[in-house]
Structure 1
Amino acid sequence: PALVPAAVPGGAAAVPGRPEPGARGSLALAATFALGNLPLLCAAALDDGDHGGPTVAEAPYHQVLASLQDPSGVFADPAAAVGVVLLRAADLERFGPVDDAVLAELGTAYPAALRALAERTRKPLIVGFLPTAGAAERFVRWEHETAAALAELPGIAVLGPDEWTRHHPVDEPFDARTERLAHLPFTPPFQAAVALRLAEVVRAVRRPAPKVIAVDGDETLWGGVAGELGPDAVDLTGPRALLARRLLQWRAAGALLVLVSNNDEATVRAVLDRPDSPLGVEHFSVLSAAWDPKPDRLAAAAATLGLGVDSFLFLDDNPAEIAKMRDQLPQVLSVTCPAADELDAFLGRLWPLVPAAATAEDTLRAHFYEQERERDAARADGGFEEFLARLELRVDIRELAEEDVPRAEQLVRRTNQFTLRARSADGGDLARWRQRGEVWTAAARDRFGDYGQIGLIAVRAEGDRLDVLAWMLSCRALGRGVEEHLLCWLADRADALGCTKVRLTAERTERNAPARRVVAALGGGRQDDERLEAVTTPDHLRAFRSWSRR
């Protein structure tokens, strides 16, 4: 009941109204046993019919640890979208005995190598422990301890030995003959079950991460109704604590947290102020405790954060609240949170892993919104131009360097409002701009704090004209003078390249009105035209003030 229908019973949720990511990119696969037909089965299970299945790149047989550490191996290949590592402790003795001391060393080496790989590549890893017939107790213990060491690491999903046939029953998983002859321990039906389960998890970990997670209080974030039992009596232990820890992981990865509870605010604050509460008031960018309809309050939270409601994931135990949210705000991914005894398995399906923060901006995002409340207070004290003067805004623009590329690619993927046109489906925009012209990145800070890397501009000189190939700004930088700083920079860049004109073109998308508004104000046409084109002078760019046209 918690998830919308998936392709396979019990599988990961699809996002209503949003296309799932295609199967482009390769799947890097390593195992401590012979893979047999598993690579082909994985490719077939991931074939979505439109893009086809991925290429499966296999690591050398029985060379898992070396493959994880190899800087030129299958896991380090830029084409690898997801890495899969399949382990059985018993296989470590395939070519000779392994005593307890060596086993302990491997119990440290494998998590360290996997963690280093996840941090180095910033790509999701799936680590699966496969069953062994009659496994020795010390091997079972090794697998449990290794899985526990990996379970809390960002960017890594862990699947236990019982995960493979829970939704895909198999009569006999083991084939003693093929294991003896070829170290291929599993029957074809079990290999198929493994491929199906891996496909579910691969789709889930490649799903776009939510920007905001909004969560209910009573019977969701805590057990019981706080207004009836009292703040000190609600349950924050067990599965509720697991949910709280997972939310904190998402926050560390760059997601914002919002609490939307039907309660008095004092009651909610009393729960979050408890010493045993993993989540405190300070962890929520918006805390909405009231009795107004939740869709209205979630829309207000989106406006406060300056984000679209389509970037929200909403968790609530009440199916009626979920139905209401889906009806009034269908852009929100609204998911029913199950009872406590099902919560652990539910979270494993919804979030097989929490991604590692890809950029410094991700780790600072929640802190930025705390600073934004201070900016809002300053804005309320006077006129807009006075507010801008008090901000003491500084914008640093520099040519894109290799260390800037991860954040630049993230801006291309995530920017929907201030962008001149839709991103290309193949994800190659940034590389093409770098080939065709210059790409520059913009960072900003003011007296309240650091915005981080918030903008990207690509330009190309064509005779006496400077063409703006791309211009995108993070929504958190809009409406505080950053646009004017960048227009002045464009004017300076045109002068430096000997250009007397600057051309900006914009193509209409569903959400890029802020960018179209600027191009229209520069003489590019009407804001709602399908295509706008402004050809103007550097002096006109320097004189432009967006707020004078509001």
Structure 2
Amino acid sequence: MLSDLAWLPPAPASIRDDFKALKAAATTPDAAFSDALTRVSLHRLDEGQLAKLAGIVGRVAGDLSPFSRVKLGLLGDGTLSLLASAIVGSGVRHGLLIDVVEGGYGSAVQDAADPSSALRAAGLDMALLALDHRLAGLDRAMPTAADAAAQVDAAFGRIRMIVDGMRADLKGPVLVQTLSTPVEPLFGSFDRVEPGSVFAMVEALNRRLAEWAREGGIVLVDTARLAASVGHERWDDPRHWHASKLGFSPDMIPVYADVVARTIGAIRGKAKKALVLDLDNTLWGGIIGDDGLDGIALGQGNATGEAFLAIQRLALELRARGVVLAVCSKNEDDAARLPFREHPDMLLREEHIAVFQANWTDKASNLKAIAETLNIGVDALVFLDDNPAERAQVRRELPLVGVPELPADPALYPRMLAAAGYFDTVALSEEDRLRADQYQANAQRAQMQAGASDMDSYLASLAMTCTIRPVDSISRPRVAQLINKSNQFNLTTRRYTEAEVAAAEADPQRHAVQIRLVDRFGDNGIISVLIADKGDADWTIDTWLMSCRVLGRRVQEAALAHLVAAAGTEGAERLIGHFVPSPKNRMVEDHYAKLGFTADGDLPDGGTRWVLDLADYTPPVLPMQVDDLFRTEERQAA
């Protein structure tokens, strides 16, 4: 099931004609081409079909909305050439146009160490290190625990050397695979106990890699977990290892490539944010409007009722890690809410649901309304529905919505949803865990705004407090996440790693701040980041981004007031802003003009330079309390 990408619908009979049409249109792509490309990618494609899709991607020049371009270096152990096209083809279904630059066979160390190598000179966004235990020095059992530890240290040291060499020329992170363990045991069940077994050494190395990823040094691609999920015997085909040094069976290439692509997508902010749930025969068995509260299948004591509890349990676990929950059901509203309110075995309750859409409108229209209420794009939604006709309608109308295929047996719904990887992440902060509550509060704000007589009274009623403070070690992971995910309200779309954010914090010639917003409905968390380069007369704004969920709240005016005060205190006379257009940030092309800046010519990268004379600036009266802790801490330090 998992190895076959069963959460995707089968490729249609027209797939060859679809590829031909896409190939013909690829040199002059438009919105229709983009939709068609997405629709084709959202099928169960085999290795050959992924290669054809990769060929089409290679014909597309320039940017193509809503995709993000990624230049990926591929280096590691064994044969890598069979993997590149599958990664490119799989990237399409995750909103990516990937260009893969391959390293030489067996030359990962050389490629990483040589500054003039093709990989290091390619201007890569990120790199993937694909490893195999048989070429990592972990292919033979060691006689003692000390010998085993030395082998693991050597293998880890080699990986570290490669990562450190590549990092100097990357715009983004290095992705490192975990190593799958061998099928063949040496000691039987004692393999896990005996430190000198190959199994134990590979596990020890994987633990080292996981700890490194936890510290932010790398991004993990958990191939070992994937191999265990599909079955090591299916994963590891010795014939292909001996013949071509391919680290796993060619049959596993599509699922491997999908995991790699979804990880890159998570880095680029493509992971989904909200799970939208159908109700009848999805969260419980039966139809609440016909069967009544006592007639639906839900709860302990029978297999079907427990299966639906498992679905709800997964939804709650996703919510606990920050995924927003919503309901989209063809139902009478009162009947739909009844199990949430009164069924004793129901795990999900109304307070867990950010938006509750139960009516007789078509599902695609309701999904658009849910996205609008949550202030997110439809591409951030996953829709879980047992009805194949409803799934087909949503896929046809809204191809950017994640819609997993579901089998007949509800016991398999959680596995299918989890296997699809819609909500995969490469980091998890405390702010991430609170995101579901934040979006739920946002929906309440939207309802309140709809009932307000004017915007000023609405903003005043929110009782907002805006807090501005330096970026620090605690906020750094979230700041880096925002820098790498924010696309729409992002003036330059420059990307920085956690290490680069840390360098900006420590650099006295850079001004790096985080901005939080709290209101009567709760804490929105860190919603804006500013990084400015200090000059004697001019401060140049390198990065200015803001979460779209606080648009219209005038936070940008508070941010500018802070920058003007900070720059003026250090003797600067002007602020310089750069707007660099991207496929997604058109909404802020007038940002500086609205704040009183004057256009001052074009930039080499196609952007515009803007200037604000501090002497001409008048601080605004804002509908919020502004706590500028940066200025407070700066005065205390002085």
TM-score (norm 2): 0.63
**How far apart, CA to CA, are the structure 2 residues paired with 1:68 and 1:280?**
50
- 1:225 corresponds in structure 2 to 287
> How far apart, in 1, do the equivalents of 2:347 and 2:153 lie?
34
Q: Please state if 1:93 is matched with 2:187.
A: yes
1:292 paired residue among 361, 366, 369 = 361
Q: Distance in 1 between matches of 2:271 and 2:150?
A: 29
8 Å Cα contact 1:250/1:354 also seen in 2: no
| Structure 1 residues 497 and 57, CA gap change in structure 2 (3 angstroms) | farther
Query: Which has the higher mean CA deviation after the structures are superposed, 205-214 or 325-334?
Result: 325-334
**Of residues 609, 612, 615 in structure 2, which corresponds to 1:536?**
612
Native 8 Å contact 1:67 1:73 kept in 2: no
Contact 1:524/1:535 (CA < 8 Å) preserved in 2? yes
The equivalent of 1:160 in structure 2 is 231
Do residues 256 (structure 1) and 324 (structure 2) align? yes
* CA displacement, residues 112-160 of structure 1 (integer Å, 9 cap, x when unaligned): 8787666445644232486xxxxxxxxxxxxxxxx7xxxxxxxxxx443
Q: Distance in 2 between matches of 1:118 and 1:425?
A: 17
Change (3 A) 1:290 1:353: closer
Aligned to 1:451: 524
1:8 correspondence with 2:46: yes
Please list the CA deviations of residues 184-219 of structure 1 after superposition, one character each: whole Å capped at 9, or x if unmatched. 899979644455543343234443310222232233
- Deviation for aligned residue 1:298: 1.8
Which residue matches 1:359? 429
- In structure 2, distance between residues paired with 1:21 and 1:225: 45
Shift of 1:455: 1.0
2:99 equivalent to 1:50: yes
CA–CA distance in 1 between the matches of 2:246 and 2:581?
Answer: 51
Query: How many residue pairs are counted as aligned between the two chains?
Result: 494
Q: For 1:510-529, what aligned pairs fall within 5 Å after superposition? A: 510-512=583-585, 514-524=587-597
1:343-400, Cα deviation, whole Å (9 max, x unpaired): 4663354129844762221111111234335545665466544444454433332333
Residue of structure 1 equivalent to 2:312: 244
**Does the 8 A contact of 1:433 with 1:439 survive in 2?**
yes
The letter for the 2-side match of 1:543 is: P
- Offset at 1:289? 0.8
Residue by residue, what CA displacement relative to the aligned partner does 1:289-339 show, whole Å, maximum 9, x if unpaired? 111222222222222112222322333333443444344444434444443
**Native 8 Å contact 2:47 2:86 kept in 1:** no
Question: Which stretch of structure 1 is more off in the superposition, 198-207 or 407-416?
Answer: 198-207
Note closer, same or farther for the CA distance 1:391–1:51 as it changes in structure 2 (3 Å cut).
Answer: same
Cα distance in 1 for residues equivalent to 2:65 and 2:306 = 33
Which segments of 5 or more consecutive residues in structure 2 lack a partner in the other structure?
1-6, 10-41, 58-63, 90-97, 103-127, 140-147, 168-172, 299-304, 624-638
- 1:74–1:80 contact (8 Å) kept in structure 2: no
CA 1:417/1:199 → structure 2, altered by over 3 Å: closer, same or farther? closer
TM-aligned CA distance change 1:186 to 1:472, over 3 Å: closer
The answer to whether 1:84 aligns with 2:146 is no
Matched, 1:492 2:561: no
Once the two structures are TM-superposed, the CA of residue 259 in structure 1 deviates from its matched residue by 1.2
Q: Distance in 2 between matches of 1:10 and 1:40?
A: 14
Secondary structure of the 2:434 match is helix
Please list the CA deviations of residues 441-481 of structure 1 after superposition, one character each: whole Å capped at 9, or x if unmatched.
Answer: 22232344322211111212344222222211112233223
CA distance 1:514–1:22, shift in 2 (3 Å): closer
TM norm structure 1: 0.72
Matched, 1:475 2:548: yes
Whether the 8 Å contact between 1:500 and 1:538 is mirrored in structure 2 is yes
Give, in whole Å, the separation in 1 of the partners of 2:213 and 2:312: 23
User: Which residue number in structure 1 is paired with residue 345 of structure 2?
Assistant: 276
Residue 410 of structure 1 aligns with an amino acid whose one-letter code is: Q
Contact 2:355–2:443 under 8 Å retained in 1: no
What CA distance in whole angstroms lies between the structure 1 residues aligned with 2:390 and 2:79?
Answer: 42
Q: What SS does the aligned partner of 1:213 have?
A: strand
Partner of 1:306: 375
**Aligned 8 A contact 2:271 2:423 in 1:** no
Which shows bigger deviation, 493-502 or 456-465?
Answer: 456-465
Query: Aligned to 1:367, what secondary structure does the other structure show?
Result: helix
Distance in 1 of aligned mates of 2:609 and 2:186? 64
Query: Any conservation in 2 of the 1:85–1:128 contact (CA below 8 Å)?
Result: no
Q: For 2:610 and 2:617, how far apart are their aligned partners in 1? A: 11
Cα distance in 2 between the residues matched to 1:363 and 1:70: 35
Tell me which moved more, 187-196 or 352-361: 187-196
Q: Deviations over 1:398-434 (max 9, x none)?
A: 3333443321221122223322134469999968977
Q: Which residue of 2 aligns with 1:371?
A: 441
Among 396, 401, 404, the residue aligned to 2:475:
404
Partner residue, 2:125? none
CA distance in structure 1 between the partners assigned to 2:500 and 2:461 by the alignment: 37
- Relative to 1, partners in 2 of residues 1:187 and 1:532: Cα closer, same or farther, differing over 3 Å? closer
Equivalent positions of 1:37-76 (< 5 A) are 37=78, 46=87, 50-53=99-102, 54-57=128-131, 59-61=136-138, 74=159
Is the 1:223–1:235 contact (alpha carbons within 8 Å) kept by the matching residues of 2? yes
SS at 1:87 equivalent:
coil
User: Per-residue CA shift, 1:10-30, capped at 9, x if unaligned?
Assistant: 999x999754875736688xx
Distance 1:338 1:191, change over 3 A: closer
Distance 1:432 1:486 in 2: 22
3-state SS of paired residue (1:279): coil
Q: CA RMSD in A?
A: 4.8
Residue identity matched to 1:91: P
Change (3 A) 1:378 1:303: closer
CA distance in structure 2 between the aligned counterparts of 1:404 and 1:315, rounded to whole angstroms: 34
1:414 maps to 485
The offset of 1:546, in angstroms, is: 8.8
Aligned AA (1:419)? N
Name the structure 2 match of 1:126.
223
Greater mean alpha carbon deviation, residues 500-509 or residues 538-547: 538-547
**Residues 295 and 324 of structure 1 are in contact (CA less than 8 Å); yes or no, is this contact kept in structure 2?**
yes
Q: In structure 1, the residue corresponding to 2:232 is in which secondary structure? A: coil
Deviates more, 1:507-516 or 1:252-261: 507-516
Q: Is the contact between residue 417 and residue 475 of structure 1 (CA under 8 Å) also seen in structure 2?
A: yes
> Separation in 1 of the partners of 2:151 and 2:348?
39
1:51 deviation in Å?
1.8
- Contact 1:218/1:224 (<8 A) preserved: yes
Change in CA separation of 1:187 and 1:194 when aligned onto 2, cut-off 3 Å: farther
Identity of matched residues, %: 25
Provide closer, same or farther for how the CA distance between residues 487 and 69 of structure 1 changes in structure 2, counting only shifts above 3 A: farther
Q: Is the 8 A contact 2:340 2:350 kept in 1?
A: yes
CA deviation map 1:29-88 (0-9, x unaligned): xxxxxx8x4677656864768223544345541569985999867489575424323124
Query: Are the equivalent residues in 2 in contact too, given 1:295–1:325 (CA < 8 A)?
Result: yes
Separation (CA, whole Å) in 2 of partners of 1:51 and 1:350: 23
CA contact (8 A) 1:43 1:56 kept: no
Return closer, same or farther for 1:44/1:55 CA change in 2, 3 Å cut-off: farther
